[in-house]
Structure 1
Amino acid sequence: PCPPGVGPLGPHPLDPRKESDVLRRAFMTGGPAALAAPARGDAPARTPRRVGEPEAAAIEDAVRRIRAFDDRFGADGLYTRAAQPLRTAYALLDAGTHRPAVTGRLHRGAGELAISVGWLAHDSGRYPDARSYYAEALATARVAEDRALEAHAFCNLAFLARDTGRPREAVRAAQAGQGAARGLASPRLLSLLALREAGGWAGLGDRVACESALLRAQSLFGQGPTSADPEWMSFYGEAELEGLEAQCWAALGDPRRAAEHARRAVALQDPHFTRNIALFTAELAGDLADGRHPEEAAAVGNRALDLLRQVRSGRIRAMLDGAAGALHPHRSTPAVAEFLARHRAPGLPA
C-alpha cells in the first residue's frame, strides 16, 4: 500500500508530471505551517516560534513521500521541487527545541531528507549536487552521533562514488558505512553495504575482493530481515541483491553472468518498484548487447523504453544510451534498427 497522501495508482497510473505536482502540494501543505509555504528562490524558510513533534513528523512524512514517488516514477520529476522542504527542515533544526527527543528526530529527519534530495540529484545525473547533499547528511549524522544515519549517508556516498568513476572512494565509503552499522542489529543493512563495497572492487577490477564482498552480502542477506532494519531499506530485497550483483559482473567484464543476474532481478522485482524494474531491464539490455545477443538486447531495450513512459531517470536513460551504443554495429539487423530508431525518437524522457 502507498503511504498516506500518495494515492494508489492501480492499472491507470497518473501522468508522472501530474503526480509530481500532486505530491509536491501534498508534502508542502500536508504538515504544519513550517513546511507549508514554499519560499521563492533561495528565500530563508520561515519557522514557528516553537518547534516540536508536529514539525518533526512533517519532515519524516516529507521523506516518505519523496521515497514513494521515486519508487514509482524516478527522480527527474521531483528534484527541482524538493530543495525547499530541506531548507525548511534545517531552519527548524537551527531554531532548536528544549526537548532532546524532538532534537534527535529533527536531526535524523533533516539528515534523511538531505539523503533523499541527494538521491533525487544522483538519479537525475546531477552528481555534484548529490555529493553535496550526502555530505550534508553525513555532517548531520556526526553532530547528532546517529550511527544509523551515518551508515545511510556512507551507503549513498559509496554508490555515488561508484557511479562517478571513483571506485576506491566507493570501497572506503562502504567500509566506513559497515563500521557505522555494526551494532545496529541489521544484517540486511550490512549486506547492502557489502554490495556497495563489491561495486567499488569491481570498478577497480579486483575480482577476488569483489567476490569476497558479494559472498559476504549474500550471507548477511540470508540471515533475513529484523525489526532493526531501517525504514529506507524497503527497496532492498532479493531483486536488488541480484541487480547489484549483475552490475558488479558487468564492471568486471563478464556480461554472461551479469545478464543471468539482471534477468533474475527483473523477474523478482516487486511491481510497486516501477523505477527499479526499468533500471534492471535497462541493465539486462546492456548486458545482452555486450554479450553479443543483439536481437534479444533490442527486445529488452524496447521494454525498457516502454517503462520510460512512466519513469523519469537520467541514470536509466544513460544505461539505455550505453546499450544503444553497443548495438550500433548491429544496426542492419531489423530488430536492432527498430530499437535504435525508438531510442533516437524525440519526446523520450531524458
Structure 2
Amino acid sequence: MVPANFWEHQPVRRALAARHLGRVIRAYRCHPYHGRNPLPQSAVAGWLGITQAQLSRVENGSPIVHLDRLTHWAQVLRIPAKRLWFALPNQPCHFGPEADEEQPGHQQAGSQETAGLATPPALADAVTTASDEGGDITDRRQFHALAALAGIAATGSLDLLATPTDAPRSIGMEQVRFASSLVEEFRRADAAAGADQLCDIAVRVHAHLSTWATKATYSREVGDALQTALADLAIETAWLTIDADRRSTSRAYLNEAITRARIADDPRMEVRALACLSLLIRDDHPGESLQSADAALRSSVGWGTPRLATLLHLRAAHTYATMKDMSSFSRAMAKAHREFDRGTTEDDMPFLHFVTPQELRGIEGLSYLALGRPERAARAFRTIAGNPSPALRRNRIYYTVQLADAECRQGSLDEAAQIAMSVLPATGQVSSGRVSRHLAQVRSSLGQPQRSTTATREFVDAYDEAVSR
C-alpha cells in the first residue's frame, strides 16, 4: 500500500477532481514515489486484467463510466474511498479533497525495493509485514510463493483456479487476459525469491488452466489469444523448473509452448520458448542449443529488439564457452555487447527485464569459468557485487556464489570462504535449487582436508549448521 500522502500529489488530485480514472491511473504510474521511471503500462495493465494497448486508450480516451470497472480498478489500486466520486461496495461515497491520515505500518515514500519490484498494490499490505532482516525463513518463502499469485485476488477471477469441473464452460477474453497476467506475477516473485516454492504453484496453475482449456468453448479470436497465454505460462513454468533444479520436466513445457505458439501463429512466443530451450540443453546438447538460439534469431528478423538479440547472442556465447571454443565465444559476446548498447525500446517483451549490465557480466563470468579462466570470471562477478540490481535479488545471490567458486578455483581459499560466508544468510531468503546446488559445491570444495584453513572451517561449519536446521 502506498502512503497516505501519495494521494496529495497534484497530478493525482487533479485527475481525481476531473473524475477520470484513466488519468488517475496515469498519474499513479508516473508518481515520483515509484522512483525515477514510471511504472510500465504493461505491468499496471496486468494488475487491472487488460492489455497494454487497452490501458493506453483508457488513460488517453474518454472517462470510464461503467461502475463495475470503476470499482474494480479503484480497489486494485487501493484508492481511498473518500477520494472517489462513486461508492465502493459496502462503503459510502464521500469524495473530497481531504487527505487520509497516515496509518501505522504503511510504507513511506522512497522504498526502493518495493518501487523496483513494481509490487501490485493488493500485495503491498503483505510486503510490509514480511521482513528480509528477520523472522522465519520458511514463512518468507511461503510469502513469496503466495506473492506470485497476488494478481488472482486483484482480478477477482479465483474461479479459474477451481477444479476444472467447476470452472466456467466458456472462455472469454477477460479470462485470457487474467491467465496472461499470472505470468508477470510469477516473474516478479521469481526474480526476488527464486523458484522452489513457486514451481509447485506454477505447475498446478498450468495443469488447471490447460485442462480447463481443453474442455471449455471459445471463439476463434479467443482461441488464438488463449494459445498464446498458455504458451507464455508453459515457458514460465519451464523456467521455474530449471531454477528449482527440476530440469527433467522442463523440456515438455517448452515443447508444448512451441506447439501452442505455432497454432496461434505467434513468433514472439516461439522465440521466447527457443531462447529458454537453448539455456536448458546447453550442457547436454550444445549443438542443439546453438541451433535453438540461431533459429530464434532468424525468426525475430524484422521485429526483434536489441534486448532480445542481446539475450540470444548471450545464449550462443555461453554455449560456445562450454564447447571450449574461445574465438566463437568472443565473437558472440561482442555481438551481445553491441546489441545491448543500442538500448531498450517500448517493444521489448516483458520477460527481457533481466537482461541488464549485471546479466551480461554474469554470463561472461560463467563462460570464463567454463573456459577454465577463473581469474577473468572473478573480475566479471565482482562487478555485479559492486553494482547490484535491487529487483533481481536471486540473480545477485547466484552470481555471488559463482564468485566464491571462481576464487576457490584460483586457489584463493580464504577469499572464497569469506565470500561464501557473506552470502550464506542471503541464500536462506531465496528458494532456488540452482543457488543451493552451487553453494553446496563450494562447500564441498572448501571442505576438502587439504584446503583446511581457519576461514574455510568457519564457513563449512556455518554452512552445515544452516542446512541442518
Please report the TM-score for the alignment, with normalisation by the length of structure 2: 0.68
Alignment of 1:156 with 2:284, yes or no, is no
Partner of 2:418: 299
> Aligned partners of 1:297, 1:255: CA distance in 2, in Å?
12
Please tell me whether residue 230 in structure 1 is matched to residue 349 in structure 2: yes
Aligned 1:15-26 pairs, distance under 5 A: 15-20=139-144, 22-23=146-147, 26=150
Deviations 1:123-156 (A, max 9, x none): 1111111111111111111221211111110111
Counterpart of 1:258 in structure 2 is 377
| Correspondence for 1:35 | 160
2:200 paired residue number: 80
Partner of 2:33: none
The residue type paired with residue 136 of structure 1 is: E
| 2:167 is aligned with 1:61 | no
**Which residue matches 2:219?**
98
Corresponding residue for 2:457?
337
| Residue segments in structure 1 that go unaligned for 5+ positions in a row | none
Aligned match for 2:396, one of 264, 277, 287: 277
AA at the equivalent of 1:6: L
> Per the alignment, do residues 111 and 34 of structure 1 end up closer, same or farther by CA in structure 2, a change over 3 Å counting?
farther
- Kindly tell me: are residues 35 and 297 of structure 1, through their superposed partners in 2, closer, same or farther at Cα, counting changes over 3 Å? same
Moved more, 136-145 or 4-13: 4-13
Distance 2:295 2:462 in 1: 43
Contact 1:195 1:217 survives alignment (8 Å): yes
- Secondary structure at 1:347's aligned position in 2? helix
Percent identical among aligned pairs is: 29
1:348 Cα deviation from its structure 2 partner? 6.1
Matches for 1:102-251 after TM superposition, within 5 Å:
102-162=222-282, 164-251=283-370
Separation in structure 2 between the aligned mates of residue 24 and residue 255 of structure 1, nearest angstrom: 36
User: 104-113 or 69-78: which moved more?
Assistant: 104-113
Of 309, 325, 329 in structure 1, the residue corresponding to residue 444 of structure 2 is: 325
Change (3 A) 1:200 1:96: farther
C-alpha change, 1:169 and 1:148, in structure 2 (3 Å) is: same
Q: Distance in 2 between matches of 1:93 and 1:257?
A: 49
Query: Residue 458 of structure 2 aligns to which amino acid in structure 1?
Result: E
Number of positions where the alignment pairs a residue of Structure 1 with one of Structure 2: 342
Deviation at 1:28, TM superposition (A): 5.1
Q: In structure 2, do the counterparts of structure 1 residues 156 and 21 end up closer, same or farther at CA, with 3 Å as the change threshold?
A: closer
Q: What residue number does 2:123 align with?
A: 6
Query: Cα RMSD (Å) of the superposition?
Result: 2.2
Q: Which residue of 1 aligns with 2:432?
A: 313
Q: Please tell me whether the aligned partners of residues 3 and 65 of structure 1 are also in contact (alpha carbons under 8 angstroms).
A: no
Which of these two proteins has the greater Rg computed from alpha carbons?
2
Q: Quick check: 1:203–1:252 contact (8 Å CA) kept in 2? A: yes
Distance 2:339 2:191 in 1: 24
The one-character-per-residue Cα deviations of 1:197-233 (angstroms, maximum 9, x if unpaired) are 1111111111111111111111111110011110111
Question: C-alpha displacement at 1:49, in angstroms?
Answer: 2.8
Change beyond 3 A, Cα 1:48–1:325: same
Contact kept, 8 Å, 1:124 with 1:315, in 2: the verdict is yes
SS at match of 2:223: helix
Q: 1:110 to 1:265 in 2, by over 3 A?
A: same
C-alpha spacing 1:217/1:348, structure 2 compared with 1 (3 Å) = farther
CA distance in 1, matches of 2:298, 2:165: 35
User: Residues 301 and 348 of structure 1: is their aligned pair in 2 closer, same or farther, counting only changes over 3 Å?
Assistant: farther
Equivalents in 2 of 1:177, 1:17: separation in Å?
Answer: 34
TM-score (normalizing by structure 1): 0.90
Q: Is the contact between residue 307 and residue 343 of structure 2 (CA under 8 Å) also seen in structure 1?
A: yes
Q: Could you tell me which amino acid in structure 2 is paired with residue 23 of structure 1?
A: A
Cα distance per residue 1:33-87 (max 9 Å; x no partner): 54232x3xxxx46442331122112112211111111111100112112222212
1:289/1:297 contact within 8 Å kept: yes
One-letter amino acid matched to 1:286: D
Mind listing any 5+ residue stretches in structure 2 that lack a counterpart? 1-114
Change (3 A) 1:24 1:245: closer
**Once structures 1 and 2 are overlaid, which stretch shifts more, 267-276 or 256-265?**
267-276
Once residues 189 and 150 of structure 1 are traced to their aligned partners in structure 2, the CA distance between those partners, rounded to angstroms, is: 13
SS at match of 1:82: helix
Q: What is the SS of the residue equivalent to 1:310?
A: coil
